[in-house]
Structure 1
Amino acid sequence: MHVEGTILRGPDFTPVEGRVVVADGEIVAIEETETDGDDVICPAFVNAHTHIGDSIAKEAGGGLSLDELVAPPDGLKHRLLRAADREETVAAMARSLRYMESTGTGTFLEFREGGVAGVEALRDALAGASGAESVGERDIDAVILGREEEAVLEVADGFGASGARDADFDAERNATRNAGKLFGIHAGERDDLDINPALDLDPDFLVHMVHAGELHLERLADRDTPVVVCPRSNLVTNVGVPPIRELADRTTVALGTDNVMLNSPSMFREMEFAAKLADVSARDVLRMATVNGAEIAGLNRGTIKEGADGKLLVLDGASDNLAGAEDLVRAIVRRAGEADVKRVVL
């Protein structure tokens, strides 16, 4: 199959007119040629940090603090997850998967609560086994990092730790390393006290880093430890906003939408917010929403080049919202949305 239009090619999203040819899930050719129409082709998004289990409780807990909302084991999110039956949870996650696909996300990195059972529930949602007739098999890919028990590594793609202040995660880190899987951990969300202990674990990536100081930034640079930032979530929980420019100067930074309870899992909204919040270019933000998250997960996607996975987002460049854009990348990052999506190739 192929899609054609203005292609945002390579890591710099260089606009070229032509077609992208995909075979067996891989980009096999990028042909520069004149085309009809106004479609814009960019990589499908990689949402680098989600908690979609709490799709059962959208906008619950307004006005609560971060700890009251999500701190294990008895934050509001955890109480609601324990109270929900499995079918309800799977169906709610499946709806979020459908929404993420419709807004251009091809891959997401999930910190999944509930141990082995929680991972299996998400895999059922991905397989369309929710029991909801309106939800079919999903083409979106998940990198699932389980939590709460070391045995989760038998069924998950890695371990997603809540934070160094919550427990000693040395055993989980060693087990994850031995299994050749990903280890991510929250750090610097409410304050800076858990950042150095998190870095001492030598994680594959950190999440949040709102309160990163100069020492922490230097350690990130020395270790080349990537960071996933979730600025909308941090604003909602009133913990501050991450120093995106300073982080990006030191290491790889990716974007995530965090808890569905707090925010819609739309990378369009996350990109716009990050671009207007931080002193970073639109191209940097689009990389944070695509190839940077893919690199953290060790995936060959997030950029349009021969040999990469053929996960693409096709936008209507002639929509009322995007028509007349002088800088396509800036327009996609700062103003595009679900209504501009013509097709998602997964």
Structure 2
Amino acid sequence: MEELTGTILAGESFEPIRGRLVVEDGRIEAVEETDTSSDDIVLPAFVNAHTHIGDSVAKEAAVGLSLDEAVAPPNSRKHRRLAAADRDDLVAAMRRTLRYMRQTGTVSCLDFRENGVYGARALRDAAEPVAVDPFIFGSDDPAVLDVADGYGASGANDNEFSTQRAACTERGVPFAIHAGEPDATDIHPALDLDPDLLVHMVHAEREHLDRVASQSVPIAVCPRANTVLGVGDAPLRSLLDHTTVALGTDNVMLNSPSMFREMADAAKRFDVTDREVLRMATTAGAEIAGLDCGVIEPGRRAALVVLDGASNNLADSVDPVASVVRRASALDVKRVIG
């Protein structure tokens, strides 16, 4: 049994509780109010809802490029770099990224892994010695589902994905697809595939949002990547008003996979509350992937981040939730548990 003390951001509302959190056999046993002198802040560990970890072999390779030049299949800078990468180098680069993610409080990520079965197996190998469990959305042939956890489509304007959608339905695994990133033309076709997850939705309009709500499709948004690629800003307030929205960092070649940076960007640039942003970074991604984490309550998996609330950065904050979302960084992380 282990006891953590300090300010605990408990439940789905992240209510700050001064007290203790008891962990036993990897589960949260109790959350109790009690006197404590600890300045620690305990929050749910992050679930990064959209990554492309294969891009770890090409950090900053897309600086100054457009969306098509940077990442569009099959001839973008990204895809040329992936095709040329030695497997050992690819695995080593992805492993370093996963280790960084762990250091910055992330315990799982929903990764769109390129290169079919080969790519999915490479990510499995990269993750094996690291305490970050990627939920892999595979690509190419439906046979990738023998290795991956679901299928991740590039976009409805890129190809015809009904065979992959049917394979996911048959196996009972999720089908995800990029939509509404460069423009709105691929959103309705993506929704026609009855996806389990949409990614980006930068150019979503009312007609799309109505369909999203009626089909109960969650959305992963990646504000920093959208900014870097110059495609615009997702209508985050409207998305949240219609469905579950989770936060992702997207391509490693564009941004570091730091959920602290992604939260701060979202909180400061969009019409959202700090609690909504923290939920997007924790609970929402866990729900989409069916993970038993993202909320601090008895019975849940003890996947937790412990921050030093007395650090030079966080000391004197008047609101622990706002402090976590808007100010905290990797330097404030004392421990990542679970």
TM-score by length of 1: 0.96
- CA drift at 1:299: 1.5
- Aligned pair 1:153/2:145, yes or no? yes
5+ residue gaps, structure 2: none
Write the distance in 1 (CA, Å) between the matches of 2:297 and 2:38: 22
- Aligned pair 1:23/2:24, yes or no? yes
Deviations 1:4-39 (A, max 9, x none): 211000011101122222222221222322223200
- Aligned pair 1:267/2:259, yes or no? yes
Aligned-pair identity in percent equals 61
Specify the alignment match of 2:55 in structure 1. Answer: 54
Write the distance in 2 (CA, Å) between the matches of 1:333 and 1:80: 34
- CA drift at 1:63: 1.3
Which residue identity does 2:5 align to in structure 1? E
- Aligned pair 1:220/2:221, yes or no? no
- Aligned pair 1:170/2:156, yes or no? no
Most deviating of 318-327 and 22-31: 22-31
Which residue identity does 2:146 align to in structure 1? E
Which residue identity does 1:34 align to in structure 2? D
Write the distance in 2 (CA, Å) between the matches of 1:316 and 1:328: 11
Specify the alignment match of 2:119 in structure 1. Answer: 118
Q: Which residues of 2 match residues 27-106 of structure 1 at below 5 A? A: 27-106=28-107
- Aligned pair 1:339/2:304, yes or no? no
Compute the RMSD of aligned alpha carbons.
Answer: 0.9
Write the distance in 2 (CA, Å) between the matches of 1:310 and 1:183: 28
Which residue identity does 1:289 align to in structure 2? A
Q: Which residues of 2 match residues 303-342 of structure 1 at below 5 A? A: 303-342=295-334
The one of 185, 194, 209 aligned to 1:202: 194
Secondary structure of 2:184's partner? Answer: coil
- CA drift at 1:182: 1.3
Which residue identity does 2:259 align to in structure 1? M
- CA drift at 1:219: 0.8
Write the distance in 1 (CA, Å) between the matches of 2:206 and 2:151: 28
TM-score by length of 2: 0.98
- CA drift at 1:75: 1.1
- CA drift at 1:190: 0.1
Specify the alignment match of 1:143 in structure 2. Answer: 135
User: What is the count of residue pairs matched by the alignment?
Assistant: 337
5+ residue gaps, structure 1: 128-136
Which residue identity does 2:330 align to in structure 1? E
- Aligned pair 1:12/2:4, yes or no? no
Which residue identity does 1:229 align to in structure 2? V
Deviations 1:247-293 (A, max 9, x none): 00111000000000000000000000011111100000000000011
Which residue identity does 2:241 align to in structure 1? D
Specify the alignment match of 1:133 in structure 2. Answer: none
Which residue identity does 2:251 align to in structure 1? N
